[in-house]
Chains A and B, each alone.
Chain A
């Protein structure tokens, strides 16, 4: 669907603005009948979404960095919905919408715990959104990731499901449709798993 002012081509500035909805948000809005409203809300909600955090980053660290662009009202850590441990994202709610836009402009891709954090506008926090939506309880993005990432729980997709070690043919698809659910497919694990060499090399 068309997203009104968000689809317009602007000539008012000599370069693009950083405080606009990300491509992810735009795509999502296009599929959603209320997408335009959501986008408009996200410009006024004073809330931002922070992603790509290390699981070890604390609320206090987030406070230390994000308070530099405005007065923080509340920080909501994203949690694994089974384990209640941080799973790499959070919401920061500022006192005014301008402060939230400032954060998106000024702090996106800054490093926190040696990771480039990603920031996005957000239509506003609702209870329940603090939990990961992945099948394993964490974030979906981690379940689509094949690389080892020590600060985000190592390998989320277990050895058997990783490309290169998989016995089922997936023709090299990067996306596996059946993501791993802990405890569900234990019995399917081949017995010789331990001997199976890990021939997956990150980046190759």
Chain B
């Protein structure tokens, strides 16, 4: 052999330039996989570029028509991709339908396969709808929502499908909804409403590509008149799920009552409204033989089979679940706030309802990629006829000017529309479909993509909610607070605080004012979200500087608390400092002994014996017992404050110290011979007072104590709703309210939990409400109304307190309906016993009667 080229050692040959690729050899992927990798993303993004749309349709359809039938892999990938776009991005359905039909013209086998794949998917969901073992992922919207979207796609394909087969699908779904509705003549059937609304909403799509089809029009008209005469719309009014307790800024519209009039209107007048909504793609359409059919008839479950599923409360999909309670449209951007015009397409038009439906579909079904959702929802207008919306990013000022100049010009803003619908999901009662984090960060994402256009839209929402705070549901106030603070922390805490100064000046000193409470809680929350206090402080105007004092109780109360331990000894307020333990201050008579307690906790658990602690306390009692009012209380407080102080570096530290000392504490507590309730109350109080400057930490450490069974859930609630000279922190302080919900939620997640704690809170709140209404002196049959612009602050405070208390009752009844529903008789009895005010009794009794429907 000559030289052996192959055996040449490249590494040692210094003069040799090495051209070997540095990358390891790439695995070659099969050409069909490569093709799919390139083609499927194009299908997913079809229509996003209007300019390229026509070409995309042409190239993609040619490729599909040619490639179809060659490789199984390609077909699978294509089917799955089409299905994914149809159910996840419904606004792209017309584009996909157009593509399918152009393919169908060139390759009818391919067309028929796509059609039947979608039909089979629909059949699959019909079967799944009565599968009680169906497991779903977080992005699942539910079988009935999927059926809606697949039916919509099939309707779009009307030119290529046998008309009668399509109409038959509608007919059968309507029949099913009527049958379900008639199962009980009085009671509302959630599934029936869902099918009825979903199916009606799809009808106009039959005409998307069949605008002039007279015979179809005739059949649809008959279909609609049949369903109109046979479907009885049931009006339900559940006050527990109302977003506003009082003074709702708008009249909410129920889906089930609005859908039929909307559809009829859009089809009237030769479908003029419809053609203003849907773009005309007829130029790209290819002639269709129109004779494709489904391989099998649809096998739809019967009303009887579905009855046990028809409550839609089994958690088999986010959007299906929304029908569990009557579905309303939710409004944020009302006309008149800015000018005499709407910026969101009204829900009482087909377009408005459809946009809401599509946005909710996108947001719910693509929750696994909030970035994509953020992009799609604000570019929705590209998929509808141009001219429905104003130019993106137009300011309200510009709109007002334009509107004055030309009153018939459109004032609908796509940003307003998208954000209003997302907010409607955040502010959905009784439950939210995903963790709040999703919606909050989705909104942050949208704002980050185009801050200039979106920030003012958020600003208007913030103002709207602020102005309607007085009547807003308690849970929604918390969600508003959360959203606002997250948004602020992502955008440098900048907010025009001067707008709210007036409110603060007026009611700064009040305890229960909803607006002042909100601002106070907001600023404290902002402070908890940053390690740079200055960022928050600098964003505030002078009026609000005092709000950065995050004390849970005022300083004077704190002094009184520490003074209450002693007789013949004066607590020096100057030595009450944040993050230190008062009892170890140099001025304190036996600070060294308290320091010994701390030192004890600093020792490794194995190196210490609880007798050391007992000796210290004996010493204290012997020498200083004379100045201590209640020695037991003092011991409990010292122990817990010493542990809290030792663990003040972080929650984990606190957790560790308390966990390590769990047994020591138990041993000492048994020796003290004190009743459980007082002991637990002292424990909670010791911790909350230690963390007076950061009650969130305090409450989280109390949670730790609960986990180690040092305190019960009930003692935490009992402490939170203690009343002190008319002040009740549990009703106003966000950290306390959050702790209450956290505690109850944790209890409700335990399967075997008794409902005692829930009943206790109901009782406590009823007492507070009753006491407050007594102090107000409201007539027994009159509702408490917050006086507007009253100079009588005491009266104002009392009526605010009454409203927060009632709002709290409403929230816990709704949120923990399952728990409360088991003891309705007991609750009614308590209500009778604790509340004498007739009107209050009536309101709460009505809520109790609604519990079964949640």
Interface residues of A (CB under 8 A from B): 9, 11-19, 54, 56-61, 63-65, 68-71, 74-77, 98-99, 101-103, 105-107, 110-114
User: Would you call A68 and B435 a contact (CB within 8 A)?
Assistant: yes
- The one of A12, A13, A60, A105 that contacts B438, using a Cβ cutoff of 8 Å: A105
User: Would you call A54 and B368 a contact (CB within 8 A)?
Assistant: no
User: Would you call A58 and B531 a contact (CB within 8 A)?
Assistant: yes
User: Would you call A106 and B33 a contact (CB within 8 A)?
Assistant: no
B313 interface residue (CB < 8 Å to A): no
User: Would you call A11 and B81 a contact (CB within 8 A)?
Assistant: yes
User: Would you call B370 and A105 a contact (CB within 8 A)?
Assistant: yes
Most buried by A among B77, B371, B490, B529: B529
Task: Known A-B contacts: A68-B440, A102-B138. Give 12 more (CB < 8 A).
Answer: A9-B37, A14-B366, A56-B531, A59-B652, A60-B650, A61-B530, A63-B700, A70-B435, A101-B138, A103-B437, A105-B438, A112-B489
Task: Quote the shortest CB–CB distance from B824 to chain A (angstroms).
Answer: 29
B130 interface residue (CB < 8 Å to A): no
Task: Quote the shortest CB–CB distance from A78 to chain B (angstroms).
Answer: 12
User: Would you call A14 and B81 a contact (CB within 8 A)?
Assistant: yes
Task: Quote the shortest CB–CB distance from B362 to chain A (angstroms).
Answer: 10
User: Would you call A60 and B696 a contact (CB within 8 A)?
Assistant: yes
B651 interface residue (CB < 8 Å to A): yes
| Contact A106:B84 (CB < 8 A) given known A57-B531, A59-B652, A111-B490 | no
- The one of B84, B370, B528, B651 that contacts A14, using a Cβ cutoff of 8 Å: B84
Q: How many of chain B's residues have a CB under 8 angstroms from any CB in A?
A: 50
**Which chain B positions have C-beta within 8 A of A16?**
369, 372
Cα distance, A60 to B438, chains bound together (Å): 20
* 498-555 of chain B: CB within 8 A of chain A: 525, 528-532, 535
**Which chain B positions have C-beta within 8 A of A60?**
528, 650-651, 694, 696-697, 700
User: Would you call B80 and A11 a contact (CB within 8 A)?
Assistant: yes
User: Would you call B532 and A113 a contact (CB within 8 A)?
Assistant: yes
Query: What are 15 inter-chain pairs, A to B, with CB distance below 8 A?
Result: A11-B76, A12-B84, A13-B368, A17-B369, A60-B696, A61-B529, A61-B530, A63-B651, A63-B700, A64-B696, A74-B655, A75-B652, A105-B369, A106-B435, A106-B441
Interface residues of B (CB under 8 A from A): 33, 36-37, 40, 44, 76-77, 80-81, 84-85, 88-89, 138, 366-372, 434-438, 440-441, 444, 482, 486, 489-490, 492, 525, 528-532, 535, 650-652, 655, 694, 696-697, 700, 746
| Contact A106:B437 (CB < 8 A) given known A11-B80, A15-B44, A113-B532 | yes
Task: Quote the shortest CB–CB distance from A12 to chain B (angstroms).
Answer: 6
Task: Quote the shortest CB–CB distance from A113 to chain B (angstroms).
Answer: 5
**Which chain B positions have C-beta within 8 A of A56?**
531-532
- B77 closest partner in A (C-beta): A11
Cα distance, A11 to B78, chains bound together (Å): 8
**Which chain B positions have C-beta within 8 A of A110?**
441, 444, 486, 490
- B85 closest partner in A (C-beta): A14
Nearest 8 pairs of A and B residues by beta carbon: A11-B80, A69-B437, A68-B437, A59-B650, A106-B437, A14-B84, A15-B372, A56-B531
**Which chain A positions have C-beta within 8 A of B434?**
102
**Which chain B positions have C-beta within 8 A of A59?**
650-652
Cα distance, A66 to B88, chains bound together (Å): 27
- B43 closest partner in A (C-beta): A14
- B368 closest partner in A (C-beta): A17
Task: Quote the shortest CB–CB distance from A18 to chain B (angstroms).
Answer: 5
User: Would you call B528 and A105 a contact (CB within 8 A)?
Assistant: no
- B139 closest partner in A (C-beta): A13
Cα distance, A16 to B434, chains bound together (Å): 19
**Which chain B positions have C-beta within 8 A of A101?**
138
User: Would you call B436 and A68 a contact (CB within 8 A)?
Assistant: yes
User: Would you call B371 and A18 a contact (CB within 8 A)?
Assistant: yes
Cα distance, A69 to B696, chains bound together (Å): 18
User: Would you call A113 and B368 a contact (CB within 8 A)?
Assistant: no
**Which chain B positions have C-beta within 8 A of A106?**
370, 435, 437-438, 441
User: Would you call B700 and A107 a contact (CB within 8 A)?
Assistant: no
- A71 closest partner in B (C-beta): B746
User: Would you call A113 and B696 a contact (CB within 8 A)?
Assistant: no
- A111 closest partner in B (C-beta): B490
Task: Quote the shortest CB–CB distance from B317 to chain A (angstroms).
Answer: 16
- A102 closest partner in B (C-beta): B435
- The one of A9, A58, A102 that contacts B36, using a Cβ cutoff of 8 Å: A9
**Which chain B positions have C-beta within 8 A of A12?**
80, 84
User: Would you call B651 and A105 a contact (CB within 8 A)?
Assistant: no
User: Would you call B441 and A107 a contact (CB within 8 A)?
Assistant: yes
Most buried by B among A54, A111, A113: A111
Task: Quote the shortest CB–CB distance from A58 to chain B (angstroms).
Answer: 6
User: Would you call B441 and A64 a contact (CB within 8 A)?
Assistant: no
Task: Quote the shortest CB–CB distance from B27 to chain A (angstroms).
Answer: 8
- A65 closest partner in B (C-beta): B529
Cα distance, A110 to B447, chains bound together (Å): 12
| Contact A64:B651 (CB < 8 A) given known A102-B438, A105-B438, A106-B435 | no
Cα distance, A167 to B85, chains bound together (Å): 58
**Which chain A positions have C-beta within 8 A of B37?**
9
User: Would you call B435 and A69 a contact (CB within 8 A)?
Assistant: yes
User: Would you call A64 and B89 a contact (CB within 8 A)?
Assistant: no
- B491 closest partner in A (C-beta): A111
Most buried by B among A11, A17, A54, A68: A11
- B650 closest partner in A (C-beta): A59
**Which chain B positions have C-beta within 8 A of A14?**
44, 81, 84-85, 88-89, 366
User: Would you call B437 and A64 a contact (CB within 8 A)?
Assistant: no
Cα distance, A83 to B523, chains bound together (Å): 33
Cα distance, A18 to B436, chains bound together (Å): 17
User: Would you call A77 and B437 a contact (CB within 8 A)?
Assistant: no
Cα distance, A187 to B237, chains bound together (Å): 81
**Which chain B positions have C-beta within 8 A of A17?**
368-369
User: Would you call A9 and B84 a contact (CB within 8 A)?
Assistant: no
**Which chain B positions have C-beta within 8 A of A102?**
138, 434-435, 437-438
- B653 closest partner in A (C-beta): A59
User: Would you call A76 and B437 a contact (CB within 8 A)?
Assistant: no
Cα distance, A18 to B440, chains bound together (Å): 16
Task: Quote the shortest CB–CB distance from B137 to chain A (angstroms).
Answer: 9
Most buried by A among B88, B437, B525: B437
- A17 closest partner in B (C-beta): B368
| Contact A9:B33 (CB < 8 A) given known A14-B44, A18-B371 | yes
User: Would you call B84 and A77 a contact (CB within 8 A)?
Assistant: no
- B367 closest partner in A (C-beta): A105
- A69 closest partner in B (C-beta): B437
**Which chain B positions have C-beta within 8 A of A13?**
84, 88, 366, 368
**Which chain A positions have C-beta within 8 A of B368?**
13, 17-19, 105
Task: Quote the shortest CB–CB distance from A204 to chain B (angstroms).
Answer: 26
Task: Quote the shortest CB–CB distance from B588 to chain A (angstroms).
Answer: 28
**Which chain B positions have C-beta within 8 A of A65?**
486, 529
Task: Quote the shortest CB–CB distance from A116 to chain B (angstroms).
Answer: 9
**Which chain B positions have C-beta within 8 A of A98?**
138
**Which chain A positions have C-beta within 8 A of B697?**
60
Most buried by B among A18, A60, A71: A60
**Which chain A positions have C-beta within 8 A of B696?**
60, 64
**Which chain B positions have C-beta within 8 A of A107?**
437, 441
User: Would you call A18 and B370 a contact (CB within 8 A)?
Assistant: yes
**Which chain A positions have C-beta within 8 A of B700?**
60, 63
Cα distance, A69 to B655, chains bound together (Å): 21
User: Would you call A74 and B652 a contact (CB within 8 A)?
Assistant: yes
User: Would you call A68 and B84 a contact (CB within 8 A)?
Assistant: no
Task: Quote the shortest CB–CB distance from B684 to chain A (angstroms).
Answer: 19
Cα distance, A77 to B528, chains bound together (Å): 17
Cα distance, A71 to B489, chains bound together (Å): 21
- B738 closest partner in A (C-beta): A67
- A19 closest partner in B (C-beta): B368
Task: Quote the shortest CB–CB distance from B503 to chain A (angstroms).
Answer: 26
User: Would you call B482 and A68 a contact (CB within 8 A)?
Assistant: yes
**Which chain A positions have C-beta within 8 A of B372?**
15-16
Most buried by B among A19, A65, A74, A112: A65
**Which chain A positions have C-beta within 8 A of B436?**
68
Cα distance, A19 to B531, chains bound together (Å): 28
